[in-house]
Amino acid sequence: MLRWVALILLALLLALGVKLWAGEWGFREIARLQAQIAEQKAENAKLQQRNDQLKADVEDLRNGKDAIEERARTELGLIKPDEIFYQVVEPAPGEAKVGTDKAGADKSRDAQH
| 46-84 residue pLDDT tens | 999 999 999 988 888 788 788 778 878 888 888 888 888
pLDDT in tens, 94-105: 876 665 555 555
Q: Among the listed ranges 4-8, 33-37, 46-50, which one has the minimum average pLDDT value?
A: 4-8
End-to-end CA distance of the chain, in Å? 125
pTM of the full predicted structure?
Answer: 0.43
| Contact (Cβ atoms closer than 8 angstroms) between residue 14 and residue 7 | no
| Residues whose CB falls within 8 Å of the CB of residue 99, separated by 6 or more in sequence, listed in order | 106, 107, 108
The confidence score (pLDDT) of residue 45 equals: 97
Question: What is the C-alpha to C-alpha distance for residues 99 and 105, in angstroms, rounded to an integer?
Answer: 9
The confidence score (pLDDT) of residue 72 equals: 81
| Residues whose CB falls within 8 Å of the CB of residue 35, separated by 6 or more in sequence, listed in order | none
Does residue 108 carry a pLDDT above 60? no
